[in-house]
Amino acid sequence: MRNKVILYITILGLWSIANASITKEIPTLFPVKQNDKYGYIDNSGRLIIKPKFDNAWDFSDGFAAVCIDDKWGYIDKTGKYIISPQYDWAEDFSEGLAKVTAGDKTYYIDRANKVVFKSQFSGSGYFHEALAWVNIGDDYGYIDTKGKKVIKAKYEWTGDFVEWLGVVRIKEQYGYINRNGDYVIDPQYDNADNFSEDLAAVKSGEKYGYINKKGNIVIKFQFNDAGKFISGLAKVKVNDWWGFIDKNGEYVINPQFSWVDDFSEGYAVAKIGDKYGYIDIHGKNVINPRFDNATGFIGGVAKVEINKKWGYIDKTGKFIWEPTQ
């Protein structure tokens, strides 16, 4: 068991390094609120961009969406406007594109603020692997980064493309399609998640299990709920309790928590009673549960809530930014 734990710790570290360049960037600046204005701190708690915005999002693709006087634009990590505030709404950049709204029109723009295409859809998502889901009336399909419909809108629901497969629902059953819109795994499940590390959590009847990309069951249906595999571990729920399994379906951390989040940078959020804290790969409390809410560690810091105010802690549990309104 000890050797298995050491192996998982090594995997967690290597996975974080290997995936830093292919997943959403590890942020070095974090939004904070002070005197009703938003600015940004670094992971030591030092104020880097002074609070002057009415609202502010996380950095994504090197830019952060910020709002001032009811108009949204984008800044870089020096606080300089790359796209001046001019939109009524703005979302994160994803794969070089961001969705913005001006009046009653919605566009996807590039990092130079050039309109790439106008959205003609009831709803649409972020780009993942160069595809984004779109909602046309009551149906869902996919577009490419030019706005072209590449997979016909004929589904009741669609998720993001992850690991080159998209999860879709039709006739209340979930399955998986490839980029041509062909079924790789026919709709047959009562619920389904995206693939992660070549496995996906799916629900049949009242229980969840895991399948591979051939549709073979690799971990039998036995859980009341189940999450994605991240760094070789997946959170699972048995009765009212959450724990973690490995890819063999063996428990690495027995179900014992009211709720858990995925592991991130070696720690996972865990709820004990009505408070949130953090556990390590052994299931040991490394930051005692004292928060009203908590998020995973990214870039060495985590955002936590106390008395309806949010702040940031480091991996010792020390506040680098005290909770503010």
What's the pLDDT tens digit per position in 141-184?
A: 999 999 999 999 999 999 999 999 999 999 999 999 999 999 99
Which band of pLDDT confidence, cut at 50, 70 and 90, is reported for residue 279? very high
**What pLDDT shows up at residue 28?**
84
Specify the pTM: 0.89
pLDDT higher than threshold 50 for residue 2: no
- Give me the mean pLDDT over the 226-243 stretch: 97
Three-state secondary structure string covering the chain: CHHHHHHHHHHHHHHHHHHCCCCCCCCCCEEEEECCEEEEECCCCCEEEEEEECEEEEEECCEEEEEECCEEEEECCCCCEEEEEEECEECCCECCEEEEEECCEEEEECCCCCEEEECCCCEECCCECCEEEEEECCEEEEECCCCCEEEEEEECEEEEEECCEEEEEECCEEEEECCCCCEEEEEEECEECCCECCEEEEEECCEEEEECCCCCEEEEEEECEEEEEECCEEEEEECCEEEEECCCCCEEEEEEECEECCCECCEEEEEECCEEEEECCCCCEEEEEEECEECCCECCEEEEEECCEEEEECCCCCEEEEEEC
pLDDT higher than threshold 80 for residue 217: yes
**What pLDDT shows up at residue 13?**
41
pLDDT higher than threshold 80 for residue 7: no
**What pLDDT shows up at residue 325?**
66
